Structure 1
Amino acid sequence: MALVPYVENSLPILSKFYNASAQFRFCNHEINIAQDWKKLGVAAVVWDAAVVMCMYLELGRVELKGKTAIELGAGTGLVGIVAALLGAKVTITDRQPALDSLSTNVKSNLPPGISELATVSELSWGENLDRFPAGGFDIVLGADIVYLENTFIPLLKTMQHLCSDTTTVLLSCKIRYERDNTFLNILKEHFSVEEVYYDEARDIHIFKASKLPKKVDL
C-alpha cells in the first residue's frame, strides 16, 4: 500500500521518489539504488528513515562487524547493504513482490568478498517464522516500517521471535500519526526502548530496543 499516490506533477518534495535511481555514498562506497515507484510503491523507493539509519550505522555506535543482523521490510535494501559493508552477516527481508528488485539492488552494490555476507529472503511478518532461528540475531534493523496499524502485532511477534535477550533492535522512523506512538507504547510492554538519535532536518527518530527480562513468578 502506497502512502501517497503516484502523480507525475505532484509536490516537488516527492519528486525524488519518481527518479529511476538514487545515489548515496556510505562506507567509502558509491551506492546506486534502483527505484520503481509505479511498480512497487513504498517498497521501491528510498525513504529518509533508511538514509538516517545508514548515517547512524556509519557512526559506529553499534558494532556490526562479525555480527548477525536482519533487516525487516527492507524495500530497496539500502540499510542491509550498508550493514554488510560494515561487516555484518545480514539477512535482508521483505515480502515476495519486492524480492526481485531488492535482490538486484543488493547484488549490484556489494563488491566481491562482501556480497556473501548478504542474503535476501522473504519474510511476511508473523508468518512462517520457524524459517528463521529463534533468537538467532545480534541486530534487528527496521527503517520506516511502523506506519500501518494492522501490521503492529505481526511485527511485534516477529521481533519477539528473532530477538534473544542480548539482541539490539534499531528502528528508524518518522512519527507521522498518533498510531506510530501507539506502536512504540506496545513495544515498551515487551522491550526496553530508548531514543538514541534524532535527525532534526529530516524529522527522523532512531529508537534502540532490547527484550525485557521475563517476569518470574514468586
Structure 2
Amino acid sequence: MALVPYVENPLPPLSKLHNSSARFRFVDRDLTLAQDWKKLGVAAVVWDAAVVMCMYLELGKVDLKGKRVIELGAGTGLVGIVAALLGAHVTITDRQPALDFLTANVKANLPPQSQESVVVSELTWGEDLERYPAGGFDLVLGADIVYLEDTFLSLLQTLEHLCSDTTVVLLACKIRYERDTHFLHMLRQQFKAEEVYYEKERDIHVYKAYKLPAKGDL
C-alpha cells in the first residue's frame, strides 16, 4: 500500500527487486509482471508473499470460481491476476499513484475473456469506504500488506467494512518484527484467524480469517 522512495540496495537477496520484470508460471500460463522500484518503491515489485499466496490459491483449498474477490494493496497485481485466471470476479486495488502501472500489468497478463471479470480501482485503507459495498465480497486477499504500524487501524477498518459474516480473508505475510505479531493480535479482536499454510523456503505464512459475530448476535 505504501509508496516509498527508491534507495539503491546492493544486497544480492534484494537484487531481483530491481529487475524491470519478474516472470512466473501460474494456472498453466506464463506471466510477466513489470516492476519499477525506482518510481513506485514497494508498490511496484513482486514480493515473496504474493508468490506464496498464488501458490496457495492454486492448491484449490479456496473456491474461486465465480466468487467476488477484492485484493488490497495489490502492487504489481500478481495475486489478483491469478485469482481471475482461477475464475474469480476480482476488484484489484491500490493507491492512486500505482493504478496506471497496475492496470498495465493486468492487461498484459490476462486474456480478453478474463479481463472482463477484473476491475482496477483506487482504495486507500480507511478512506471513502462507501465506494465499496459493505460486506460485498466472498474473499479478501492481501499479500505482504502488514508492515506499517501506522496503517494497522485503517486496514482493520477496511476489512471490517468489506467483510460479511461469510467472507474469507487470506493474508500472506512474513513475520519480520514484533509489530507484525501485534497486528495479528489486533486482527483476532475482530476476526477468527488461523495459519493455514507456511512456505518454509521463503518464510511466508498464510492466515485465513473470518469476521467474528457481533456481541449482540452471540
Question: How many angstroms apart in 2 are the aligned matches of 1:159 and 1:197?
Answer: 21
* 1:69-113 deviation line (CA, Å, top 9, x unaligned): 000000000000000000000000000010010000001100011
Question: How many angstroms apart in 1 are the aligned matches of 2:29 and 2:172?
Answer: 22
The answer for the alignment partner of 1:74 in structure 2 is: 74
The answer for the alignment partner of 1:175 in structure 2 is: 175
After TM superposition, give the deviation of residue 4 of structure 1 in Å: 8.9
Question: How many angstroms apart in 1 are the aligned matches of 2:165 and 2:59?
Answer: 24
After TM superposition, give the deviation of residue 217 of structure 1 in Å: 7.9
CA change 1:203–1:3 in 2 (3 A) is farther
TM-score (norm 2): 0.97
Amino acid aligned to 1:138:
D
CA change 1:21–1:217 in 2 (3 A) is closer
The answer for the alignment partner of 1:35 in structure 2 is: 35
- Conserved? CA contact 2:5–2:40, under 8 Å: no
After TM superposition, give the deviation of residue 3 of structure 1 in Å: 7.3
Secondary structure of 1:135's aligned partner? coil
Paired residues for 1:25-104 under 5 Å: 25-104=25-104
The answer for the alignment partner of 2:151 in structure 1 is: 151
CA change 1:32–1:217 in 2 (3 A) is closer
Amino acid aligned to 1:36:
D
Is 1:142 the equivalent of 2:142?
yes
Question: How many angstroms apart in 2 are the aligned matches of 1:73 and 1:132?
Answer: 15
Question: How many angstroms apart in 1 are the aligned matches of 2:31 and 2:143?
Answer: 17
Secondary structure of 1:15's aligned partner? helix
Question: How many angstroms apart in 2 are the aligned matches of 1:100 and 1:214?
Answer: 39
TM-score (norm 1): 0.97
CA change 1:63–1:217 in 2 (3 A) is closer
Is 1:127 the equivalent of 2:127?
yes
The answer for the alignment partner of 1:7 in structure 2 is: 8
Question: How many angstroms apart in 2 are the aligned matches of 1:70 and 1:81?
Answer: 11
* 1:173-199 deviation line (CA, Å, top 9, x unaligned): 000000000000000000000000000
Amino acid aligned to 1:155:
L
The answer for the alignment partner of 2:164 in structure 1 is: 164
Question: How many angstroms apart in 1 are the aligned matches of 2:22 and 2:172?
Answer: 19
Is 1:194 the equivalent of 2:205?
no
Question: How many angstroms apart in 1 are the aligned matches of 2:114 and 2:139?
Answer: 18
* 1:112-171 deviation line (CA, Å, top 9, x unaligned): 111111110000000000000000000000000000000000000000000000000000
**Structure 1 residues not aligned, in runs of 5+:** none
Amino acid aligned to 2:44:
A
After TM superposition, give the deviation of residue 6 of structure 1 in Å: 2.5
Cα RMSD after superposing both structures: 1.4
**Structure 2 residues not aligned, in runs of 5+:** none
Percent identity over the alignment?
Answer: 70
Moved over 3 A (4+): 1-5
Amino acid aligned to 2:7:
Y
